[in-house]
């Protein structure tokens, strides 16, 4: 699988628009579109940003291979998931606090956005595990 296909898959599975992804890594929507079409490749700093954003290795993004191949890769993904999953306890506590009065104010909306981003990250990691295990 080529870089363009991998980027498109990661973005769509994560539920991100080209515009939102572009905003998150400080590029134009057109740049993301060109990357997904395979007409251009991102600069090194943007590849690093994409790797960090989607929690995949730079090697995975750039090598022409469909999936991660070794058991070590799966173990690393599971460890990443477990580290992220530890945030769930904090998220539950924050959600209880937010919902105590039954009203979500502007400050709480900001907290909710952060919670959603954390859950999105967990979801992407789960998708990586499913892909690796071919589930």
pLDDT digits (tens, 9 = 90+) for 96-134: 888 888 888 898 888 888 888 888 877 887 888 888 777
Question: What mean pLDDT is reported for the chain?
Answer: 84
State the greatest distance between any 2 C-alpha atoms of the chain, in Å, as a whole number.
52
State yes or no: pLDDT of 35 exceeds 90: yes
Task: Decide which of 13 and 34 is more confident.
Answer: 34
Task: Decide which of 125 and 69 is more confident.
Answer: 125
Nearest to 92 by CA among 110, 113, 115, 114: 115
Sequence spans of domains, the chain: 3-62, 71-133
Q: What are phi and psi of 16, to 5 degrees?
A: -100, 140
Among 3.30.1490.20, 3.40.50.1010, 1.10.645.10, 1.10.260.40, name the CATH number for the domain at 3-62.
1.10.260.40
CA–CA distance, 4 with 20 (Å, rounded to integer): 17
Q: What are phi and psi of 22, to 5 degrees?
A: -60, -45
Q: What is the pLDDT of residue 85?
A: 65
CA–CA distance, 33 with 16 (Å, rounded to integer): 13
């Amino acid at each position: 699988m080529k870089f363009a296909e991998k980027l498109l898959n990661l973005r769509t599975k994560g539920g991100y628009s080209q515009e939102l992804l572009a905003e998150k890594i400080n590029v134009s929507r057109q740049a993301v579109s060109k990357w997904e079409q395979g007409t251009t490749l991102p600069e090194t700093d943007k590849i690093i940003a994409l790797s960090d954003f989607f929690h995949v290795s730079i090697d995975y993004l750039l090598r022409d291979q469909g999936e991660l191949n070794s058991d070590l890769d799966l173990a690393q993904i599971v460890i990443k998931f477990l580290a992220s999953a530890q945030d769930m306890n904090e998220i539950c506590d924050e959600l209880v606090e937010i919902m105590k009065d039954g009203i979500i104010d502007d400050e709480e909306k900001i907290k909710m956005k952060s919670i959603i981003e954390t859950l999105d990250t967990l979801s992407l990691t789960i998708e990586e595990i499913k892909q690796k295990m071919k589930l």
